[in-house]
Structure 1
Amino acid sequence: MRPSVQIARREIAQLFSSKTMFIFAVVLPFVSILFFNTLLSEGVARDLPIAVIDLDNSSISRNVIAQLESSPELTVSHFPINEKKGEELIRLGKVYGLIIIPKNFEVNLKKGKQVNIINQYNSNLILAGGLEYKAFRKVIGTISAGINIEKQRKQGISTQQAIVNFQPLTMNNHVLSNPFTNYSYYLNTGFLAMFFQLFVILTTTYCFGIDLKYNKGNQLLRIADGKLSSIIRGKVLPYTLWFMLVGIIMLYSMYVWQDFPFNGNKIGVLLGLFLLIVANQSFSLLIIAITNSFREALTIASGFAAVSLSFSGITFPIFGMPKVMQWLSQIFPFTHFFELLLDQSQRGFPIYYSLKSIAILVLLCIVPITLGWFRLKVVFNKGKFKHHI
């Protein structure tokens, strides 16, 4: 029997006999897939409660309230008797905004006067406050456009020309980081992939580290006839294949089960997924090579995977970081896989735009293990870590 096959069979047996390995490799990946696909299933906030004070109580003011209610982001839940009561509702967190329609609202509109509708919202809640403000502006803009167009129609101007007269310039916005402005599409894509690579790097670090912790490095070398490459192939390959399957299930959960948009190249994403797995395994081997204990190896591996989220551009764009941080972000495989995944799913770029990400992932598969190779041979010849903690 080839040494690498014998080691692979030993590794599979160890996976099912070790609770920690089984949790890292089998349980937690599926828990994270279920958790994140359920956490942000709505994608964007809907039906944010607001309060309205209608001091005019006219047909037009009631139409404004109906338009606010029909907005998917808002729902009119309270009608306080005065402004003080409305502000109290905001402070208590019962509503996210207070809209006040003034007296003589309809009369002044018919006279052609400009009328102010007051909107008070809680800017401390950045997401909810921003969505309330955006939805309010959209509703008021639509109503204002309707009033203006109707006036022009009464003067004999066609509807199409009235629309052009009201808004001669139109906007064509393109959101680069979250083009669908859907938090489920954007955040789930990042969080699922980040936790996936965390389990890859921890499982690989654990499977090598546990043998060195208990002084079994020499035993593995005897099985492999002294060849480090046979040890690496035998221990890594089962997890590479397993995590490839888990990764495909993760992608299926997003792009089929949750119906996330996918407008790119499927083969390119699968290649990127495979390279992400191998690159993290390569970094695991480098960590094993340079650390002095099993505990230290696991700490550095988990820290490396967790910090990669901050350098991926999810929370803060990479181009806005200082130059040193931009360079540092390039050593994390997750940075390039996330860019590839966004380009090929939500942005729908042709695959050749992602060749740079693929090329860097290939380098990150080769460079770490190359840097740690000779030190790794020393560790396995010794058979154990420097320290046994």
Structure 2
Amino acid sequence: MKPSLRIAKREIALLFNSRSTFIFAVVLPFVSILFFNTLLSEGVARDLPIAVVDLDRTAVSRNVIAQLEAAPEISVNFFPLNQQKGEELVRLGKVYGVITIPKNFEADLKSGKQVSIINQYNSNLLLAGGLEYKAFRKVIGTISAGVNIEKQRKQGVSMQQALVNYQPILANNHVLSNPYTNYSYYLNTGFIAMFFQIFVMLTTIYIFGADLKYSKGNKLLSITNNNLSAIILGKVLPFTVWFLFVGVIMLYSMYVWQDFPFFGSKITVFTALLLLILANQSYALFFVAVSNSFREALTIGSGFAAVSLSFSGITFPIFGMPKVLQWLSQIFPFTHFFELLLDQSQRGFPVFYSLNALIILVVLTIVPISLGWFKLKRLFSKGVFNHNI
């Protein structure tokens, strides 16, 4: 135990003497927590700029524009003279959509003809484009309902019957997870935790890789009498404790400071957080073991940690991926941590349903270090990477 404590004291001293380690372990985690909590603090995007081309210029068309302006998701900021100029605003990124009200809109509407309002929006920006489309459909649906009900009223139909005639079937929606439709609750939960595990991965690779880059591996083995376990324990333990503290701050920023909903078990989430740290440290040691250089280890580790976002289900649901990619997603610790975090925070599932994720995180902590153990032992016996770059 004494050699491990000696190495642990050395790592704590190096933390404040190594600028790179200090940035990875201290500066960037808190910067990312502050950045993402600030970036999505509103929860839902509001007042997205759009353009309206009013070719009719009547009381009815002005009413349509007023109702579009009243929609909280969008804001009518431009009134181009024609549709081509409106499309140019979309291409330049000044607006997220252009809505065109055709000529004779009011006259055709009053004569009983079916009229159309053109909506063009940028679908490359999924969130902004989706919100613009949603707001447009809601406004046009409201206006259409008003016109239809008014026609029925003129024919002597009661208001209640007119409503039934227009929409005989009502949709009764119940949102089971994130009923607040707050993007921050879902996206921040993933993004903050994802960047957190990247910093765990890079810090672990750095503290081992730096010693091997500068030929200090065999020196550490001599301190511990060729005991690799003592080296790993001494170097990893201080950062495990530190990142556990940072992780608690991360969770506090979401569930206390930002007041995200939390309906599950705090102990389960805390356990998963610890296992996420340990699993990423285990993978980091494996990447150090199989790499030929410090740079290669950092490249592989950062790539693995960053790609985990794509396999977590944040950007695309896992069940919609090809089977091979669904299986591949299971090797990423973040996939299981993120699913558990959602289950225990927003969904409020019983702990029993999160046991599978905890078991897999334990497995992903044990397997990588086991696979790389003998290569890591040989690497430290040699004392240096194969290539000094």
TM-score w.r.t. length of structure 2: 0.87
Deviations 1:57-101 (A, max 9, x none): 555443322211110111122334444554454455443333344
Partner of 1:301: 301
| In 2: Cα distance, 1:31 partner to 1:24 partner | 11
Deviation at 1:320, TM superposition (A): 2.5
Structure 1 residues 344-353 or 101-110, which shifts more? 101-110
Partner of 2:191: 191
**Counterpart amino acid of residue 308 in structure 2:** S
Deviation at 1:271, TM superposition (A): 1.4
Instruction: Assess if the C-alpha contact under 8 Å between 1:55 and 1:103 holds in 2.
Output: yes
Deviation at 1:192, TM superposition (A): 1.7
Deviation at 1:144, TM superposition (A): 2.1
Cα pair distance change 1:211/1:65, threshold 3 Å: same
| In 2: Cα distance, 1:196 partner to 1:246 partner | 9
Instruction: Assess if the C-alpha contact under 8 Å between 1:68 and 1:139 holds in 2.
Output: yes
Partner of 2:342: 342
Deviations 1:89-128 (A, max 9, x none): 4455443333344555556555554333333444455443
Partner of 1:219: 219
| In 2: Cα distance, 1:87 partner to 1:235 partner | 58
Q: Is 1:79 the counterpart of 2:75 in the alignment? A: no
Partner of 1:131: 131
Deviation at 1:283, TM superposition (A): 1.0
Partner of 2:158: 157
Partner of 1:209: 209
Identity percentage of aligned residues: 75
Deviation at 1:25, TM superposition (A): 0.8
Cα pair distance change 1:101/1:358, threshold 3 Å: same
**Counterpart amino acid of residue 229 in structure 2:** S
Cα pair distance change 1:8/1:92, threshold 3 Å: closer
Instruction: Assess if the C-alpha contact under 8 Å between 2:177 and 2:346 holds in 1.
Output: no
Deviation at 1:186, TM superposition (A): 3.0
| In 2: Cα distance, 1:20 partner to 1:190 partner | 25
Q: Unaligned regions of 5+ residues in structure 2, if any?
A: none
| In 1: Cα distance, 2:120 partner to 2:370 partner | 60
Structure 1 residues 195-204 or 299-308, which shifts more? 299-308
TM-score w.r.t. length of structure 1: 0.87
Deviation at 1:244, TM superposition (A): 0.8
Deviation at 1:280, TM superposition (A): 0.5
Deviations 1:264-298 (A, max 9, x none): 33222221111100001111122222223323222
- The correspondence of residues 248-267 of structure 1 with structure 2, limited to 5 A, is 248-267=248-267
| In 1: Cα distance, 2:162 partner to 2:268 partner | 48
Structure 1 residues 360-369 or 308-317, which shifts more? 308-317
Cα pair distance change 1:231/1:82, threshold 3 Å: closer
Partner of 1:282: 282
Partner of 1:242: 242
Instruction: Assess if the C-alpha contact under 8 Å between 1:343 and 1:349 holds in 2.
Output: yes
Deviations 1:323-367 (A, max 9, x none): 222222111111111222222233333332222211111110111
Deviations 1:130-177 (A, max 9, x none): 322221111111222234345556645353x54444323333567899
Q: Is 1:145 the counterpart of 2:145 in the alignment? A: yes
The SS at the match of 1:256 is helix
Instruction: Assess if the C-alpha contact under 8 Å between 2:149 and 2:159 holds in 1.
Output: no
Instruction: Assess if the C-alpha contact under 8 Å between 1:179 and 1:346 holds in 2.
Output: no
Partner of 1:362: 362
| In 2: Cα distance, 1:313 partner to 1:177 partner | 15
Structure 1 residues 37-46 or 176-185, which shifts more? 176-185
The SS at the match of 1:345 is helix
| In 2: Cα distance, 1:287 partner to 1:146 partner | 64
Cα pair distance change 1:39/1:163, threshold 3 Å: same
| In 2: Cα distance, 1:94 partner to 1:23 partner | 36
Structure 1 vs Structure 2 CA RMSD: 2.9
| In 2: Cα distance, 1:296 partner to 1:339 partner | 30
Cα pair distance change 1:118/1:250, threshold 3 Å: same
| In 2: Cα distance, 1:102 partner to 1:303 partner | 51
**Counterpart amino acid of residue 347 in structure 1:** R
Partner of 1:316: 316
Cα pair distance change 1:244/1:172, threshold 3 Å: farther
Deviation at 1:226, TM superposition (A): 3.6
Deviations 1:231-274 (A, max 9, x none): 22221111011001111112222233333333333222221111
Partner of 1:230: 230
Q: Unaligned regions of 5+ residues in structure 1, if any?
A: none
